[in-house]
Structures are given as C-alpha cells and as structure tokens.
Amino acid sequence: MSEEKLVGDQKDTSLGKVASWRAQAVQLAAIVAVVFIAKGALAEPFYVPSGSMEPTLLIGDALLASKYPYGYGAASLPIQLTLPETGRLFGETPKRGDVVVFRWPGDRSQAWVKRVVGLPGDHIQMRQGQLFINDHAAALKPDGVAQAEDDRGNTERAYRFVETLPNGVSHAIFKMRDNGRLDNTPEVIVPPGKLFVLGDNRDNSADSRVSVRDGGVGLLPIDNLIGRADAVVGSWDLGIRNQPVWTWLSGFRLARFFTSVH
C-alpha cells in the first residue's frame, strides 16, 4: 500500500508540474499577445537615428507613435509583412503640420519620420528656401542661432526659424545655408492618396523634394503611414559614446523625457 501511495504521489506531482508549466506558457502567450496588439493598434516606439527633423527631434530621441489617428493598414503592423494594399481601416488623412512615422517607399522595412505639409490636391513649392502651399507663403520668424548635429556627431551652425503654415500650425525649423540645393523646386500638385512631407532641418533632409530613386521620400503614399509621432519618451545624446563609460549617464537628456512633439 505504501509503495502504491508513493507512486501515486509522484504522478500527482508530475501532473501538477505539467499543469503549472502550461499555465505559465498560457500567461506568457497572453502577455505577448497583449503587447503585439498594443503595438499594432495603439502605439509603437521608434528611435530617431538622424538629424533630419532637428530641432523638433534630436538624434537619440525615442518616439512614441500613435496608430489610431490615421487608421490601420499593412504598414501599421509591428512586424513588417508583405501584404497586398487594400486601403486603410478607419482611415483618416493627416493634418498639415502633423509629424508622422511611415514606411519608406524605397524599403518598407525602414521607418522614417517627417512633417506633413501637403495634402492631396495641394500645390507645393519651395521658393528661395520658403515653403509655399497653394501659393500662400508659410511665414518665417527668425528665432536665433543653434547647432545642428549630423549622424557622425559633428555640429554645424544653423539659423532657427519659427515656421507657421497657412492653417496656423507653428513649429521650429533649421536653415544652415542660403541657396541650398533644395531651396527652389518646381511646383508639385499632390495627387490623391499621397502626401508631401518635409524634414524640419531643411538643408539636411531627403524628403518629398527628393525622389525615392535618389534616396528621398518622393510623394508619400498614405498607405505607408504607421502613425503620428506624439511624444518623446526618452532621449540619449549619442555623442557621449566618445567619452569614458562612467560619463555616459550624463548623456540622458532628462528635459526631453515624456515631452510632446509639436
């Protein structure tokens, strides 16, 4: 009787361990599912690797992009899959001035961030470095001098302006030089289903002024939108990597943590 009881106890213990492992596996699967759904439907973090959106976004910023403002499509998925484009569910067109995260048309595995300035039907042109939308100039107000940083950690003197779009949205931009190669462009009529986007660092941004073939965005398909960049949740100055390791903590830009994107 004692041997039989011992065997029975061992079986019960084994079954209990199996049940425990199954419960943990189910919990883990549930957590993964919740994270996947949240990233796909609510918001997803992204990292800023270049200075094309300075001074609004800095190299080393960690962004949170909200998915719901523009609806959902293949580009909204947290993992990149090649799916046929079938339009967007609950689709909404961005507003002028929105900072958007999107799949680069040249390689949809890459996520880029730019500012929307042109909507379908708009006439867009750059004239001597000033943006014109439907033949109305975006006002420029001088706002001092700053330092623009490039991908290699080098800095360059930049003139800061506050640009106000015709719909009243204001944001800061950088201009590093007069008569830049993208300061004068032909007028473009934005076709249906497309957007015209610019970087806030106007002399260091391959945006809608540059074709995809030449490494730019060209006219951005709305279906490529991932979401709207709403907040900087963290930031670390990558230039600190050239300093001793014990100084790296000083690279955190605490003033930028949990700030909104304008």
pLDDT at 175 over 80: yes
pLDDT tens profile 129-165: 999 999 999 999 999 999 998 777 788 999 999 999 9
- pLDDT tens per residue, range 191-205: 999 999 999 999 999
Decide if pLDDT at 242 tops 90. no
CATH architecture of the domain with residue range 45-260:
Ribbon (2.10)
Mean pLDDT of 241-259: 88
- The residue from 52, 205, 208, 235 that is catalytic is 52
- 228-237 burial, b at 16+ Cβ within 10 Å, e below that, comes to bbbbbebbbb
Q: Which amino acid is at 204?
A: N
For the cut 90, the answer to whether the pLDDT of residue 91 exceeds it is no
Q: Is 194 a catalytic residue?
A: no
Q: Which amino acid is at 55?
A: P
Tokens 């909200």, residue located = 66
3-state SS assignment for residue 162: strand
Q: At 89, is the pLDDT very low, low, confident or very high (cuts 50, 70, 90)?
A: confident
Of residues 50, 67, 76, 114, which has the active-site annotation? 114
State the CB neighbour count (10 A cutoff) for residue 49. 15
What is the residue extent of each domain of the chain?
1-41, 45-260
In terms of average pLDDT, the best of 65-79, 138-152, 161-175 is 161-175
Per-residue pLDDT at 5:
44
Query: Would residue 114 show up in a list of annotated catalytic residues for this protein?
Result: yes
pLDDT attached to residue 250:
87
- Predicted structure pTM score: 0.81
Q: Helix and strand tally (H, E) in the chain?
A: 1, 15
